[in-house]
Amino acid sequence: MLRPALVAVLLLASAASAQPDSLAGRYAVYVDGEPSDLAAVVDAAAAADVVLLGERHDDTVAHALQLRVLQGVHERMGAGRPVALGLEMFEADVQPVLDEYLAGVAEERDLTEGARPWSNYADYRPLVEYARAHGLPVVATNATARHVRLVAREGGVEALDRLPAASLAVYPPRPLAGPSDALAAAFADAMGGMAGHGGPSAGGMLAAQNLRDLTMAHRIADAGRGGALVVHLNGSFHSAGGLGIPEHLAREAPDARVLVVTFEPTDDLTAPPPNGESNASGVVVLTRADG
């Protein structure tokens, strides 16, 4: 776990920093349970190889803060180190469409029609546009949804053996690593009795979750092999407590320095996060929707 030094840095360009902070009073940063600030998150991110920004997908405050982290890291790196943006919100098989848009070959309507963005793409669009404006790669990291459903239905990643070779190109070489016991326990606790009832079994749902985790880790590791610092957005359960993506990254890129930041909505920004799976991530950003 990286423990950031609590030093102040400018996170936005000077012109922007002169403006009132529209997010003031809407978030609080805790590092190892102690109050901190977003500048410390940028410090820690700049010293990492992979930064996992775990979120609730409907948390608009978190999305705005993620853009600030990306900007801060990019400005800190300057010409010294490339920065890449990774997004769970795009499935890996649409990477060519995303690349065409970033290169200016495709229009935005081509992206929204061809890359199957999430319904709340407007929340992530500012990060993609920042990357496009500054020439940063954007990596589509998620497993293909139809493959996730296949694995869930049939109860294991062995179902992928039926796919043609071209469909498997976005996944790690087989045999694919399974979920850890710790993740399996956390997943069972989170899901409760939701499995079954005519849908996928508990084992199938866990296998589908693991397929997403290992695919994201594989894509992140590939993006960082040339020395880039990868800032990645994902649902918090994929990385909180060092489970999921970080576990697979430890196999894919064992020397990578990984920072996990977990964004958690709350009604009380003054209450430190509890000692639980999220706090085990080291850096927790509490967010509040109302100012």
pLDDT value for 57: 97
pLDDT value for 235: 97
Asked if residue 217 lies in contact with residue 258, where contact means CB atoms within 8 angstroms, the answer is no
Residue 272 burial (10 A CB sphere; 0-12, 13-18, 19+): middle
Residue segments in the chain with a per-residue pLDDT below the cut of 50: 1-18, 276-280
What DSSP element (H or E) covers 50?
A: strand 50-55
Asked if residue 278 lies in contact with residue 238, where contact means CB atoms within 8 angstroms, the answer is no
pLDDT value for 177: 94
Please state, in angstroms and rounded to a whole number, the distance separating the CA atoms of residues 62 and 82: 24
Asked if residue 266 lies in contact with residue 175, where contact means CB atoms within 8 angstroms, the answer is no
pLDDT value for 15: 34
pLDDT value for 198: 54
Residues 6+ apart with CB under 8 A from 132: 101, 102, 138
Q: Is the dihedral of CA 169, 170, 171, 173 positive or negative?
A: positive
Does the domain made of 25-142+220-272+281-287 have the CATH classification 3.40.50.11550? yes
pLDDT value for 11: 27
Per-domain boundaries in the chain: 25-142+220-272+281-287
CB atoms within 10 A of CB 288: 17
Structure tokens at 212: 């997403």
Residue 188 Cα distances to 97, 157, 208, angstroms: 36, 18, 13
pLDDT value for 18: 41
pTM over 0.95: no
